[in-house]
Amino acid sequence: MILIGLTGWGDHPAITAERQANEHKLYRYSSHFPVVEVDSSFYAIQPAKNYHQWIAQTPNRFQFVIKAFQALTGHDRKERSNFEVKEMVQSFIESIQPVIESNKLHSVLFQFPPWFRLNKSNIQKLIKLKDWIGDIPASIEFRNRTWFGKYTRDTMMFLQEENWIHTICDEPQAGESSIPIVFPESNQSKVLIRFHGRNVHGWNNHGQENWREVRFLYRYRQTELEEWAERIQHLKQKTNDITILFNNNSGGDAYDNAKQFMDILDISYDGLHPKQMNLFEDLL
């Protein structure tokens, strides 16, 4: 199974009409794609009612990749006790419980910041987090190169032993804050792939005011996606469950590249929402 989708559902002009009410955007999105990444959960633990609404707006087999709250990954740079973090994990789990119960959870994505280096303390943090989150599927994305290079094999073995879902990233190779494309050497139950674009000059913050706006400004070429199609065929020998998310949306390119990749892989999906909401869209 290969699922292809985007990060978020509200900022893709090719899908959502500007005058369309917010409550219709996810419905419209899920007429195109079978999976989405929830980004709002990174900025705040969402109330369960939000997840109930999103579940109701999506088809039965739809999947959510939910980003872990930023305080759990250390993006806020605040020191917390184990008790405080464990309590926060529990609150996060309670908030996503509707998604778990509806069988629509792909995984919780723990994306760690660039300063999350390979060291003993951070290894212990990963062990604790995975223990506290329990059997809930959890994917992990590093933003620091020290986890790979000469430690690639150790890192991959550690992730497998701790039951983390490996996230493969296509992103600019722009120093320590970016990671190489790393494929699993052994069989995996699930693999997540995130396409961030290859904007080398925009990846790191060099003081530009619009850094966040240009960081993911990139449109993949046909040849680059065809190279990835070959990689996907090899990856299918290691796992039967591949989820691909396009995050290169600073210029609105994620939708087009995702559809392009679906065509290259000759993928179509049953069970999506019908597209009838295209009718009367000026009234929505």
What is the DSSP annotation of 4-57? EEEE-SSS-TTTS-TTS-GGGHHHHHTTT-SEEEE-HHHHSPPPHHHHHHHHHT
State both tokens at 117: 């280096």
pLDDT at 283: 41
Mean pLDDT of 205-219: 72
- Is residue 255's pLDDT more than 50? yes
Nearest to 215 by CA among 224, 206, 223: 206
Q: What is the overall mean pLDDT for the chain?
A: 91
Using CA atoms, how far apart are residues 204 and 178, in angstroms rounded to an integer? Answer: 9
Could you report the per-residue pLDDT of 29-78, keeping only the tens digit for each?
999 999 999 999 999 999 999 999 999 999 999 999 999 999 999 999 99
- Is residue 211's pLDDT more than 80? no
Using CA atoms, how far apart are residues 4 and 169, in angstroms rounded to an integer? Answer: 14
Using CA atoms, how far apart are residues 130 and 203, in angstroms rounded to an integer? Answer: 29
Q: Does residue 38 or residue 250 have the better pLDDT? A: 38
Residues linked to residue 282 through DSSP beta bridges, in sequence order: none
The boundaries of the domain holding residue 257 are 2-283
Q: 233 falls in which pLDDT band (50, 70, 90)?
A: very high
Whether the Cβ atoms of residue 248 and residue 11 lie closer than 8 Å to each other: no
- Is residue 276's pLDDT more than 90? no
CATH number (domain holding residue 54): 3.20.20.410
Residue type, 188: Q
| Structural domains of the chain, count | 1
Q: What are phi and psi of 4, to 5 degrees?
A: -125, 135
- Is residue 279's pLDDT more than 80? no
Q: 274 falls in which pLDDT band (50, 70, 90)?
A: confident
Whether the Cβ atoms of residue 68 and residue 111 lie closer than 8 Å to each other: yes
